[in-house]
Amino acid sequence: MTDATDTEAAGTDSVGGGRSTPAEAEPVVDLANVTKTYEGGVAVEALSDVSLSLAPGSYTAVMGPSGSGKSTLLNLVGALDTPTDGTVRLDGQDIAALSEADRARARGRTVGFVFQTFNLMPRLIAVENVALPLVFQGVDRGERRERAADLLSRVGLGDRLDHRPSELSGGQRQRVAIARALAADPALLLADEPTGNVDTETGAQIMDLFAELHEAGNTILLVTHERRIAEHAERIVHFRDGVIEGIEDVSDADPTAASESADADDTDPTGPAGGTDATDGAGEI
Ligand code: ADP
Ligand code: MG
């Protein structure tokens, strides 16, 4: 279940500045023969026998047409859901073997989520939004605020600590959401179409931020339908009809060829939260 990229990364003990990665590091996430079927009027097999592993410090993009199983994959990787068949290990733990409460704890400890629709609390100012995950980690108020302010500075919003989401542009909101995802210092950052609701320039700035986080040793899994966004990752996993169609190593790709093959096969505008504030994101950063 481990491909060449993972083996390489796992054999390096200097991946990332902030995180130590032992030579025989376990994958942050390991999916083995995972099938996910949604029961309903008609059962839908959203994922079929998928095996994929994310090495510590790796940066992976997932592409595929609408309905190919990308969000289902992210939900399983982030322990928001459990597989119908096969095993999902998050930080070595089989998520299906955990109680609901333990799964939530594992998620809070290990995973930071970034959604297309930002999902910020409208009544909370930026620093409170970012500090929110720390409330559940039992971090005291003063330290929460200090850490949240640090993170907001890191994403370039040190001068917007007291602003509510409605007082921020789309790009600024997404940066608040990224800071919030990082609050609990998660090993893994999951992003579902993080640039889907921002303009091209803002999207580029958000991708620069992900590149910095990758440099700092974070493990990133990013879903996108835009090829030029996916190319920021080390590899691109292509999904179709719930199966992995192929895994492309971006670092090996001919940059000329890659930039010419713009991917226009997917126009899914909605993330898992349904794109509720899709119209207010097109602001300047
Ligand atoms: P993508 O993110 O690639 O657009 P999804 O993972 O959201 O794809 O969906 C994969 C398939 O599973 C689709 O056919 C979708 O309709 C179906 N699906 C997703 N979520 C559910 C659900 N909660 N209940 C039933 N079917 C679902
Ligand atoms: Mg989706």
**Nearest of 194, 257, 254 to residue 230 by alpha carbon:** 194
Residue in this structure with the two tokens 């998050």, named with its chain if needed? 90
CB of 269 shorter than 6 A to ligand 1: no
Q: Which residues contact 275 (CB under 8 A, 6 or more apart)?
A: 116, 117, 196, 197, 269
In a domain, 23, yes or no: no
In a domain, 161, yes or no: yes
Domain count, the chain: 1
CB of 196 shorter than 6 A to ligand 1: no
In a domain, 6, yes or no: no
CB of 69 shorter than 6 A to ligand 1: yes
pTM over 0.75: yes
Range of the domain at 229: 57-75+97-268
The token pair at 24 is 């025989």
In a domain, 160, yes or no: yes
In a domain, 139, yes or no: yes
In a domain, 24, yes or no: no
The closest residue, in CA terms, to atom 24 on ligand 1 is 38
**Alpha-carbon span 50 to 62, nearest angstrom:** 13
Q: Provide, rounded to the nearest whole percent, the portion of the chain with pLDDT above 70.
A: 80
Q: Ligand 2 center to residue 70 CA distance, Å?
A: 5
pLDDT in tens, 226-284: 999 999 999 999 999 999 999 999 976 555 554 444 444 444 444 344 333 433 433 33
- Which among 48, 66, 71, 76 is the best mutation to test ligand 1's pocket, defined by most ligand atoms within 8 Å of the CB? 71
Tallying the residues shown for the chain, one arrives at 285
In a domain, 142, yes or no: yes
| pLDDT of res. 274 | 38
Domain holding 164: CATH number?
3.40.50.300
Question: Looking at the predicted structure, is the pLDDT value of residue 10 above 70?
Answer: no
Neighbouring CB atoms inside 10 A of 264's CB total 9
